[in-house]
Amino acid sequence: MKNRSLVSINDFSKEEILQIVDLAAKFEENPNQELLKNKVIATLFFEPSTRTRLSFDTAINRLGGRIIGFSDASSSSTTKGETLKDTIRMVSNYADLIVMRHPLEGSARYADEESRVPIINAGDGANQHPTQTLLDLYSIKKTQGTLENLNIFMVGDLKYGRTVHSLLQAMSHFNPVFNFISPDELRMPDEYKFWLDSKGITFYEHTEFTDILSRADILYMTRVQQERFADPLEYEKVKNIYILKNSMLKNTKDNLRILHPLPRVNEINTDVDANPKAYYFQQAENGVYARMAIIASILGLV
């Protein structure tokens, strides 16, 4: 992985993915190490973020590195009309590694072509979110003891949700069964379903999930991605379509864990938070260790 970018989760092999997951566990045991001494890492967030940016910042700080960048593109020269190409060319002369979030699909791949240093994609539009996937895999492995043969339910905005796109591709290494639950308007795009077919992975599509929830090992809830809708009225129609309530978890498996990349809006009722099957806040903590593992691997420090 040394000196390689992480733009799509498919940039890393199954073995490399497993190495990161194992390394995340080691960082969780021992999170304060000076591995990034004398390293400067740029975090360029052209789109809002709380967890992703702060967990990258925490990971870099705990490893003794230094950070440059911005959390709001309006404070950068983008507002003066600077192109992404020029910004990346320049920042890649300042930093050893660039972490970037951008609203356009494909922007991270483009940045990678222009950059002299590796790029970590922290989300490019509705396309990919590979670092979220690595922390999701770490969370799944920790809670299930394995990544193999799991029944994964993905619920909500499967069209615009980049987290589910990356996660389904990574999980496909581990013989899962997928259940996709969404309104018709927000179904998993065909390109991902064709991709699953080509790998021989079984998936089912539904518009409801209450009756089948007893089969799930992982219930991955997602937010309807309001910012990606061209028509606000279309968003209004689907915004509260699924709301998970504690009462719905009665007949579920003991090992079931509820994941959500966060932020949640209304899709998980707060009465679920105290249920031991709710794992989304621990999942967000795991993001620090997974991102330490990603950075250290790409900079060749482990």
What is the contact surface with ligand NCD in residues (CB under 6 A)? 51-52, 123, 129, 132, 162-163, 223, 261-262
193 is in an annotated binding site: no
Rounded least distance, CB 162 to ligand NCD, Å: 5
Q: Beta strands of 201-271 (E only): which ranges?
A: 202-206, 218-221, 257-259
Is 51 annotated to bind a ligand? Reply is: yes
Whether 129 sits among the annotated catalytic residues: the reply is yes
> Which of 62, 101, 165, 173 is flagged as catalytic?
101
Closest contact distance (angstroms) between CB of 190 and ligand NCD is 21
Contacts of 182 (CB under 8 A, 6+ apart): 155, 156, 157, 158, 159, 188, 205, 207
Does 80 count as an annotated binding residue?
yes
Identify which of residues 197 and 236 has a Cβ nearer to ligand NCD in the complex.
Answer: 236
Is 101 among the catalytic positions? yes
The residues with which 181 forms a beta bridge, in sequence order, are 155, 206
Nearer to ligand NCD, 117 or 126 (CB): 126
- Residue of 4, 26, 51, 187 marked active site: 51
Whether residue 52 is annotated as binding a ligand: the answer is yes
Minimum CB separation from ligand NCD for residue 62, in Å? 19
DSSP-derived 3-state class of residue 205: strand
Strand intervals (E) in 17-175:
40-45, 66-70, 97-102, 119-124, 151-155
Strand partners, 204: 179
Q: Which residues contact 126 (CB under 8 A, 6 or more apart)?
A: 105, 159, 160, 161, 162, 165, 225, 228
Q: Is residue 206 flagged as an active site residue?
A: no
* Residues with catalytic roles: 51-52, 80, 101, 129
Q: Which residues are documented as binding site for carbamoyl phosphate?
A: 51-52, 101, 129, 132, 262-263
Q: Which residues are documented as binding site?
A: 51-52, 80, 101, 129, 132, 162, 223, 262-263
